[in-house]
Structures are given as C-alpha cells and as structure tokens.
Amino acid sequence: MIAKVELKTSPHLRSAPSVDQIMRNVVYALLPITGWSVWQFGLSALVLTVVVVASCLGTERFFNWLADKPSSLDDWSAVITGLLLALTLPPAFPFWMGAVAGFAAIGIGKALFGGLGFNVFNPALVGRAFVQAAFPVAITTWTPAFAPSRFAEFVPSSLALPFMSPAPVADWITRQGVDAFTGATPLAAWKFGGVATDSLDLFVGLTAGSAGETSAVLILLGGLYLAARRMMNWRVPAAMLLGAALTALPFWLWAPESYPSPLFVLFSGGLMLGAVFMASDMVASPVTPAGVWIYGLLMGFLTVVIRFWGGLPEGVMYAILLGNAASPLIEAVTQPRIYGEPKRSRAK
C-alpha cells in the first residue's frame, strides 16, 4: 500500500533527450571529423586537440570553483567547445597557444557571461578570435595534409615553448617532399593567387586548412546525424549555406573569372564546419521560426562579403560572431503571431 504520497507539478511526463544527452551526441558527431583531421595531419593535430579540450575542461572547472558552484563538466558542453576550437586551428599551431585559446574560449566566451546558456557568442569562436588577434602568424601557418612523417614526429612549431616564437615550418615541409606546397589554403590561394581548387577535393577533404574544416562530407554527415535525432536546428546551417550561395551566385555569373563559383564558396574554408556546428549553437541563436532563417541567411551573406571584399581570406568566424550579436535583436522583431491575436504586434 502507498506509504508516501509526493507532490509534483504537471506535466508529469517528460520527453527525452536531456541537455547532457544532446551535448554528448554533438560530441559523437564531431569525433569522425576530429579523427579525419588526425589522419590528415598526424601527431601534431592529435595532441593539439587533446591540449585544447583539456584546457577547456580545466578552465570550466576552475570557473566553477571560483563561482562556488558544482562542477558543470558533466553537461559535456565544454568538450564540444574544445573539439570545435581545435578543429578551427591550424594543425601545427603551438600547443601552448592552443591552451591559451581554450582558456579564452571558456573563460571569456562562456564563464564570464554566466556559463552554459548565457553566452552571447559561440565560445569556440571567441577563443579562436582571441588567438587570431594574439598570434597572427601562427594562426596562418599551414602545413600540408598527408605529410609522410606526420605520425612519426611533431611539426617543429607545435612544440614551441610558452611565450616563445614557434620554430619555422618551411624546412619541415620541404623534408616531407610534398610537391609544390604553397603554404596557402584553398581560400588564400584563390584570394591572393587567383587559383581555384577542385570542388571534389574540397568536398572529400584532401586540402590544406584548419585541422577539421577540410572534409565537407564528414561535417555534413555529422550534421545530418544531429538533425535526424532532432538535436540540432537544421534550418540554421541550411539558411547560412543558402545565404552564402545566393550571395556568391550573381557575382560568379557576372564575372566568373574574378569570383569563385558558389560550390567553391560552400566547400572551402570553414563555412561548412561553421554553419553546421557553430552557427547552429543553440545558445547564441534566435528561437523564433522566422528569426532562425534570417539569422542563418545573414551569416551566410556576411561570410561572402568578408571573403570577397574584406582583408582576410576567410570570413566565417566574424560572420558568425556578428550573427550572434544580432541574434537577440532578430528574435525580438520576429515574435510569431499567437493564436487568437488579431494583428501582428511586436514586442518592444
């Protein structure tokens, strides 16, 4: 017979999944991409990933302790930030700088705002922006994919001592015997050299670039997995890719010799990784149905604008950060019409 009767407020049923389950699945979706980057770039990329993730977790725990709150490591969000951040860095990025990036990502990008759910910007991109400003040379030092000795030794720059300039990598690259490596990513090659890379190579991921941004197919598969499990709003990446393609299309049609094709725009650089895994960061996105489309289209548009006319070859990071900043505004002006409401009224 009943010995204890407990009070609880309705609803008494709850659907899965919970936050930690969603976050864990994002980690699952990122693992193949991380694996590919390690296969491509070897030991340096592997250790860099471990260092960045560890730095993120340590920073998260440190700020928990500082704020006198229970550990939030088990919600898995810091792992995602770490993996994403590592994937946006050049594979031969010095480890100590990776640790700084992780600290900036969680510390400045997340903990200072109040932790999970309160960050205005995607923490991984805040970390990335921090090191881009702090270490402009290291963040644009690229190494070739599939170097023969990538599993035998570190790229010399990886092992730079803290606060020391990293060793140059030119000798190491020459020793790898990779033909005609220009040290440029496909985007830089296009922007500064006018050379377009084959779209299929970009799609499969056989080019130089940041550790994880090279294989569009793995990124898309990860995104499809999350969308199918309803753990990601697929409209954000769809809108962002659409926005980029639509912005690039008229210029390409008008002057194909000066502007790249929309396919190149979609599959080069960090657009795919950014659209699928960073722009879709729930916390920094609007929640309204119309707002999500506007947000995605805006980021796609900004990416192309920065790539075509900005000083940098890549614009995804700043496009997403700007989109994040605009998100509360977009949400405020796209409140949906509710049932029984006579006319569209806007929240002030």
Partner 1 sequence: MGLIDILKRKTFAHGVHPPEYKETAAKPIRRLPFAPEMVIPLSQHFGAPAVPLVHPGQEVLRGEPIARAAGFMSVPIHAPATGVIEDIRLMPSARGPKQEAIILKVHPGASQRVLYGVEQDPDTMAPEAIVKAIQETGMVGLGGAGFPTHVKLTVPPEYEVDTLVVNGCECEPYLTTDHRIMLEYTDDLIRGIRIAMKASGTRRAVIGVEDNKPDAILAIQRKLKADDPIRVEAVQTKYPQGSEKLLIKVLLGREVPSGGFPFQVGVVVNNVGTLAEIGRLLPEGEGLIERVVTITGPEVKKPGNYLVPLGTPLRFILEQVGYFGDASHLILGGPMMGVTVASLDVPITKPVSGLVVLPEKASNDKGDRIYPCIKCGKCVDACPIHLNPSRLGQLAAKRQYGVMAEEYHLNDCFECGCCSYVCPSNIPLVQYFRIAKSVNRERAA
Q: Establish if 324 lies at the interface with partner 1 (CB under 8 A).
A: no
Q: Which residue has the tokens 């402009």?
A: 136
Q: Establish if 344 lies at the interface with partner 1 (CB under 8 A).
A: no
Q: Establish if 64 lies at the interface with partner 1 (CB under 8 A).
A: no
Q: How far apart are CA 86 and CA 136, in angstroms?
A: 16
Q: How far apart are CA 41 and CA 49, in angstroms?
A: 12
Q: Establish if 115 lies at the interface with partner 1 (CB under 8 A).
A: yes
The residue from 11, 136, 180, 309 that contacts partner 1 (CB under 8 A) is 11
Nearer to partner 1, 21 or 165 (CB): 21
Nearer to partner 1, 15 or 257 (CB): 15
Region of 1-9, 32-40, 201-209, 315-323 interacting with partner 1 (CB under 8 A): 1-9
Q: How far apart are CA 33 and CA 35, in angstroms?
A: 5
Minimum gap (Å) between residue 345 Cβ and partner 1: 9
The residue from 60, 75, 213, 314 that contacts partner 1 (CB under 8 A) is 75
Nearer to partner 1, 114 or 148 (CB): 114
Minimum gap (Å) between residue 149 Cβ and partner 1: 43
**Residue 132: phi, psi to the nearest 5?**
-65, -40
**Which residue stretches of 152-288 are H helix?**
170-176, 186-193, 199-204, 216-228, 235-254, 262-267, 271-273
Q: Establish if 4 lies at the interface with partner 1 (CB under 8 A).
A: yes
Q: Establish if 287 lies at the interface with partner 1 (CB under 8 A).
A: yes
| Whether the Cβ atoms of residue 329 and residue 137 lie closer than 8 Å to each other | no
Residues 76-80: contacts with CB under 8 Å, at least 24 apart: 76/20, 76/23, 76/24, 76/26, 76/27, 77/23, 77/116, 78/106, 79/23, 79/27, 79/53, 80/23, 80/26, 80/27, 80/30, 80/124
Minimum gap (Å) between residue 181 Cβ and partner 1: 42
Closest C-alpha to 270, from 231, 241, 227: 241
The residue from 64, 140, 149, 335 that contacts partner 1 (CB under 8 A) is 335
Q: Establish if 285 lies at the interface with partner 1 (CB under 8 A).
A: yes
Nearer to partner 1, 114 or 168 (CB): 114
The residue from 9, 164, 255, 257 that contacts partner 1 (CB under 8 A) is 9
Measured CA distances, 169 to 135, 154, 166 (Å): 16, 11, 9
Q: How far apart are CA 159 and CA 156, in angstroms?
A: 6
Which structure tokens are listed for 339?
């049932």
Nearer to partner 1, 57 or 226 (CB): 226
Q: Establish if 292 lies at the interface with partner 1 (CB under 8 A).
A: yes
Where on the chain is the footprint of partner 1 (CB under 8 A)? Answer: 1-22, 75, 114-118, 233, 282-285, 287-289, 292, 331, 335-342, 347-348
